[in-house]
Structure 1
Amino acid sequence: MSAVIAETSLPLEDRGLAFGDGVFETVLVRDGRPMLWEAHLSRLKRGCRRLGIPLPAMEAISELPGRLGEGQHVLKLIVTRGSGGRGYMPPSSPEPNWRWLSVPFTPRASCWWEGVRIRQCDWRLAIQPALAGIKHMNRLENVMARREWTDPAVAEGLLCDTHGDLVEATSMNVFWQREGRLETPCLDQAGVAGTLREALMTRHPIKEVHCPPDILGQAEAVWVGNSVQGLWPVIRLDDMTGEALHQWSLGPIHKPLQVTAHSLLGYPLPAVSGA
């Protein structure tokens, strides 16, 4: 099936293209119905406010998912500051651009049932509290981290900040259970606060913590997830050389968090081994 594309071209002088001066959202849409839509719009607005970009016409944006028709799609929505200004200095009265792209989508369902292998990344995220949490367009740090491996058996890479605290995976948030408690990295210094993460935190007692990645060695279960792929249980964590650091068996402990995540996204409920 071919991609559904509209309003994707930007002028070369657009500040989003030139400087990453903008925000974006990536939304799972099922038969014209966007999953976690209010959370995506809320983060889009929050990002625009943080960067001082005027909000585009939200009525037009809100109509987009319904135009995609039947089937499962991923909708990428981009809002930039637009053109103008001089060098890095933005225009005093910016006129934002917004563009979108939709592509048919099939999730990696085997990752739900079989679990995934992940690895540590050498790249470190810069600490910048003013940008922490929002999904701004300057994602070069994530790109550089994702360059570190090509092995298809490795599904994700874990990123720490320059202080050594665990932050996120390259395109997912991280969760674990330790001594019976659900935890996730605190994202007040770096990282993207995912919409699935937000939804799970309103439904489960998940504590935000500042900690090094070594804490995963104390975990009974680990997951990575986002609002497009759902929640993947982790069965193995490698170091940067490919040597296994920790391994976990799939079991009933993984199921409650996955059931909530997949209910929110309309995916099949997991039936992990031993559940």
Structure 2
Amino acid sequence: MAVRMLINGVAADQVPALDRGLAYGDGLFESIRLVDAVAPLWSRHMRRLVESCGRLRIPPPDTMQLWSEVLEVTRDMPHSVVRITVTRGIGERGYALPAAPQPMRVVAAFAPPQVADSAYAQGVRMRVCDIRLAEQPLLAGMKHLNRLEQVLARAEWSDPAIAEGVLCDSHGRVISATMANLFAVVDGMLLTPALDRCGVAGVARAEVLAACPQTQVGALTLDALLGASEVFLSSSVRGILPVRSLDKQDYPVGGTTRQLQQHWRDLGLRWSRADE
């Protein structure tokens, strides 16, 4: 996998073994989709990054400097995904915060993931994961570096026909997919789970909420999800993906999903060849 990477602004591909991001997951990351050196959701990514740094008491990076580094690593790449990682940097052994932290930033560019055109047209298949997300309101919403719950969830299946898994919390409430936020149309109303106790508040989710202000944010049970008339996923990397089925429950691709796919195209974000 070819990767272009800058570590603290310098071309490199190794991080210090004593970095707190490696030792403790003490940091954050953003995965940003670019098309022709344009990142339409950039401001949302930076807002979440800066706010999350504040919550973790990590000095935030200079967003203009980050943008300059993003342009450097994506030079001559018409389509790319950039991962920006910010850690608290090197610290002495132990959990105590360094008195004078020196955060580390990693800006890396990758080729975008391969998603079949049929996934955008006809939808993807999902399953319900066995693992349950732990609740921690202090970390809820942030895209912090500890993704072990998602790693273990994704390890639950190997069937290539299953693209994603539904994650619930310890009370059985639906929270998200492993790599995306989830929306459902239930009784004619667009719903998405509240993320005040666990889960990641994605920037694509924020864009959907801005485009569809009538969306209800709250508790979503698995029974309600299975009874929905329309389900889709939102991801800053993959866009708007219809859900074709969840375990044995099938769903049609609905009008709200199609409208939001068009909204993504209007933003300048293209995924399938049909969008070229």
- TM-score, scaled to structure 2: 0.90
Equivalent residue, structure 2, for 1:254? 257
Residue 77 of structure 1 pairs with residue 77 of structure 2? no
Residue 136 of structure 1 pairs with residue 144 of structure 2? yes
Equivalent residue, structure 1, for 2:24? 19
**Unaligned 5+ residue runs, structure 1?**
239-243
Equivalent residue, structure 1, for 2:244? 235
Equivalent residue, structure 1, for 2:186? 178
Equivalent residue, structure 1, for 2:57? 52
Q: Percent identity?
A: 39
User: Residue deviations 1:177-223, cap 9 Å, x none?
Assistant: 11111110000010000101001101102111112211112211000
Local SS of the residue matching 1:33 = coil
Amino acid paired to 2:75: G
User: Residue deviations 1:231-268, cap 9 Å, x none?
Assistant: 11111101xxxxx1x11123545312222234335226
Local SS of the residue matching 1:56 = coil
Task: Return the alpha-carbon distance in structure 2 between the equivalents of residues 171 and 118 of structure 1.
Answer: 12
Q: Which residue, 120, 130, 135 being the options, matches 1:122?
A: 130
Q: Equivalent residues in 2 for 1:1-275 (5 A)?
A: 2-7=2-7, 8-67=13-72, 68-70=74-76, 71-108=78-115, 109-204=117-212, 205-238=214-247, 244=248, 246-264=249-267, 266-267=269-270
Amino acid paired to 1:95: Q
Amino acid paired to 1:85: E
The 3 A distance-change label for structure 1 pair 82 and 10 is same
- After superposing on structure 2, the runs of 4+ consecutive aligned residues of structure 1 that deviate more than 4 Å are 268-271
User: Residue deviations 1:51-92, cap 9 Å, x none?
Assistant: 110112333102123221231000000000011133111212
**More displaced stretch, 148-157 vs 212-221:** 212-221
Task: Return the alpha-carbon distance in structure 2 between the equivalents of residues 39 and 254 of structure 1.
Answer: 21
Deviation, 1:270, is 10
**Unaligned 5+ residue runs, structure 2?**
8-12
8 Å Cα contact 1:262-1:269 kept in structure 2 = no
Amino acid paired to 1:15: R
8 Å Cα contact 2:125-2:162 kept in structure 1 = yes
Task: Return the alpha-carbon distance in structure 2 between the equivalents of residues 253 and 201 of structure 1.
Answer: 12
Equivalent residue, structure 1, for 2:10? none
8 Å Cα contact 1:79-1:97 kept in structure 2 = yes
8 Å Cα contact 2:6-2:69 kept in structure 1 = no
Deviation, 1:15, is 0.2
Task: Return the alpha-carbon distance in structure 1 between the equivalents of residues 27 and 51 of structure 2.
Answer: 12
- TM-score, scaled to structure 1: 0.91
RMSD of the TM alignment (CA)?
1.9
